[in-house]
């Protein structure tokens, strides 16, 4: 069986495992991986130029997890350095689909893999609403090429979208 490797076209976010992330045995508690995944999706959005609080205030939208499936493969432990990847695998008018992984840096071991569906909702009524065009435009600029590093995703966004929309948020 071929060893698994990090996806090449993915946003990567580093995470260090703190004592608070672990159970009594020093192993990352299963629900803590959800926090790691959330941080990576938030940082992916931030790297595109969007802050969640500003999206709420200026666009009137929030993103909320609608569905999540997770497969745990090998444990992360106290003080491990991890890399969390986020790849946009699809989207609808009011939702985003992500494939996410958590990797141990020391040995390249896959800790978990998750499929996450995130809904765009109206901040006032918490009802599904269309993803704002400015966000879809920014995502279109990265759909065809690899994304890596902290913030380097901005280099993949078209100049027109970056100067017109993202910097204006």
Q: What integer is the mean pLDDT of 64-86?
A: 98
pTM of structure: 0.79
Is the pLDDT at 6 greater than 90? The verdict is: no
Q: Is 23 a catalytic residue?
A: yes
What pLDDT is recorded for position 127?
Answer: 97
* Residue of 62 and 141 predicted with greater confidence: 62
What pLDDT is recorded for position 149?
Answer: 37
CATH for the 11-134 domain, from 3.30.930.10, 3.30.420.40, 3.10.129.10, 1.10.3720.10: 3.10.129.10
Query: Which of 21, 23, 53, 107 is an active site residue?
Result: 23
* Residue of 22 and 161 predicted with greater confidence: 22
Average pLDDT, rounded, for the chain? 83
What pLDDT is recorded for position 8?
Answer: 53
DSSP code per residue over 46-68: HHTT--HHHIIIII-EEEEEEEE
Q: What percent of the chain has a predicted confidence (pLDDT) above 70?
A: 78
What pLDDT is recorded for position 91?
Answer: 92
Is the pLDDT at 71 greater than 60? The verdict is: yes
What is d(CA 70, CA 30) in angstroms, rounded to the nearest whole number?
Answer: 10
What pLDDT is recorded for position 86?
Answer: 96
* Residue of 7 and 17 predicted with greater confidence: 17
What pLDDT is recorded for position 20?
Answer: 97
Residues in the chain: 169
* Residue of 169 and 105 predicted with greater confidence: 105
Under 8 Å between Cβ of 104 and 76: yes
What pLDDT is recorded for position 150?
Answer: 35
Locate the domains of the chain by residue range: 11-134
**Counting Cβ atoms within 10 Å, is residue 5 exposed (0-12), middle (13-18) or buried (19+)?**
exposed
């Amino acid at each position: 069986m071929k060893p698994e490797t990090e996806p090449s076209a993915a946003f990567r976010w580093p995470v260090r495992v703190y004592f608070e992330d672990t159970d009594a045995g020093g192993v990352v508690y299963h629900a803590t991986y959800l926090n790691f995944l959330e941080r990576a999706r938030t940082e992916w959005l931030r790297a595109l130029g969007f802050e969640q609080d500003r999206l709420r205030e200026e666009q009137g939208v929030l993103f909320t997890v609608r569905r999540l499936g997770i497969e745990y493969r090998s444990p992360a432990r106290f003080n491990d350095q991890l890399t969390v990847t986020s790849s946009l695998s699809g989207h609808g008018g009011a939702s985003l689909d992500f494939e996410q992984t958590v990797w141990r840096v020391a040995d390249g071991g896959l800790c978990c893999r998750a499929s996450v569906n995130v809904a765009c909702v109206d901040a006032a009524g918490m009802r599904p609403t269309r993803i704002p065009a400015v966000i879809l435009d920014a995502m279109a600029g990265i759909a065809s090429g690899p994304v890596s590093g902290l913030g380097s995703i901005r280099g993949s966004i078209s100049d027109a979208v970056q100067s017109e929309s993202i910097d204006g948020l």
